[in-house]
């Protein structure tokens, strides 16, 4: 089993929103994702999808987008992004998701010998301080990430791989510590994936938190090719 990741699919089947308004790199989206996905991913693999999946505003419309993803190879693990306004309660979401799709909501999932936790995250302090509302939301997201890490601990077995998903980057330049990085440093996942940043080459984004590898997997930065994270058979 291999694990891939790609964020920010920004699908718009029901609510048309051509992504080329955000730059020419989006030309051919989302067909380029589907083509690369089918080329790379096998049925026994896992694909992490850390947020901004659909521009839909309502769950039924989002399911039109998600049904296309569900038909692709692999088990899909979903996380909410800041533009996933359609995302309902955990129970309603899980009841509606197509087969082969799992969602992380203040908890964790285990697929084979891989345990995955995560939370959306939020804007983090960098060159500028956060306002009171952003500080409140960041603290809340760190608490949710802690819940997810705890749930992962209950699922983990000796020899398991432990992965973490965020939608927002875990820190902002010049990368001072923040409540999210505190949770990450204590949890010690094998690696972190995140999205949200567009027009940023992955090599120019944050690449580690306290020595833990971190990968920007926004679709445009990956040139719409799901990123291989690990092969559990090796």
Which H helix or E strand runs over 96? helix 90-96
Q: Report the alpha-carbon distance of residue 1 to residue 133 in Å, rounded.
A: 42
Residue 202's pLDDT is 82
How far from 162 is each of 27, 36, 109, 117, 191, CA to CA, in Å? Answer: 35, 26, 10, 8, 7
Residue 199's pLDDT is 85
pLDDT category at 134 given cuts 50, 70, 90 is: very high
Biggest CA pair distance of the chain:
47
- In DSSP notation, 76-95 reads EEEE--TT-TT---HHHHHH
Residue 226's pLDDT is 98
Q: Report the alpha-carbon distance of residue 200 to residue 183 in Å, rounded.
A: 25
Residue 128's pLDDT is 85
Whole-number percent of the chain with pLDDT over 70: 99
* pLDDT tens, residue by residue, 78-129: 999 999 999 999 999 999 999 999 999 999 999 999 999 999 999 999 988 8
* pLDDT tens, residue by residue, 20-38: 667 788 888 999 999 999 9
Mean pLDDT of the region 5-25:
85
Domain 2-229 indexed as CATH 3.20.20.70: no
Residue 18's pLDDT is 76
Mean pLDDT of the region 34-48:
98
Higher pLDDT pick, 133 / 19: 133
Residue 37's pLDDT is 98
- Residue 108 makes CB contacts below 8 A (sequence gap 6+) with 115, 116, 117, 118, 148, 149, 151, 152, 154, 155
| Residue among 222, 174, 173 at smallest CA distance from 194 | 222
The helix/strand/coil state of 18 is coil
Domain ranges of the chain: 2-229
Task: Find the range with the poorest average confidence among 59-63, 80-84, 203-207.
Answer: 203-207
Mean pLDDT of the region 40-64:
97
- Residue 90 makes CB contacts below 8 A (sequence gap 6+) with 103, 105, 106, 107
Mean pLDDT of the region 1-26:
87
Angle at 212 (CA atoms; ends 3, 201), nearest 5 degrees = 70
Residue 50's pLDDT is 98
| Residue among 45, 2, 8 at smallest CA distance from 169 | 8
Q: Report the alpha-carbon distance of residue 135 to residue 129 in Å, rounded.
A: 9
- Residue 77 makes CB contacts below 8 A (sequence gap 6+) with 46, 47, 48, 49, 101, 102, 103, 104, 109, 111, 116, 165
pLDDT category at 9 given cuts 50, 70, 90 is: very high
The helix/strand/coil state of 109 is strand
**pTM assigned to the model:** 0.97
């Amino acid at each position: 089993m291999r694990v891939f990741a790609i964020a920010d699919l920004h699908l718009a089947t029901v609510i048309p929103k051509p992504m080329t308004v955000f730059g020419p790199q989006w030309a051919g989206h989302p067909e380029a994702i589907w083509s690369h996905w089918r080329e790379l991913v096998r049925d026994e693999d896992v694909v992490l999808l850390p947020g901004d999946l659909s521009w839909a505003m309502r769950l039924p419309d989002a399911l039109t987008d998600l049904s296309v993803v569900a038909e692709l190879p692999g088990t899909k693990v979903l996380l909410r992004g800041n533009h996933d306004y359609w995302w309902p309660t955990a129970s309603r979401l899980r009841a509606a998701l197509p087969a082969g799709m799992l969602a992380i909501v203040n908890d964790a999932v285990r697929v084979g010998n891989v345990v995955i936790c995560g939370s959306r995250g939020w804007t983090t302090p960098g060159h500028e301080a956060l306002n009171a509302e952003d500080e409140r939301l960041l603290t809340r997201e760190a608490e949710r990430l802690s819940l997810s890490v705890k749930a992962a601990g209950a699922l983990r077995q000796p020899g398991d791989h432990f992965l973490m998903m965020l939608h927002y980057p875990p820190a902002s330049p010049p990368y001072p510590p923040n409540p999210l990085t505190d949770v990450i440093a204590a949890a010690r996942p094998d690696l972190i994936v995140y999205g949200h940043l567009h027009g940023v080459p992955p090599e120019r984004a944050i690449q580690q938190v306290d020595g833990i590898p971190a990968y920007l997997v926004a679709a445009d930065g990956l040139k719409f090719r799901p990123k291989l994270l690990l092969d559990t058979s090796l």
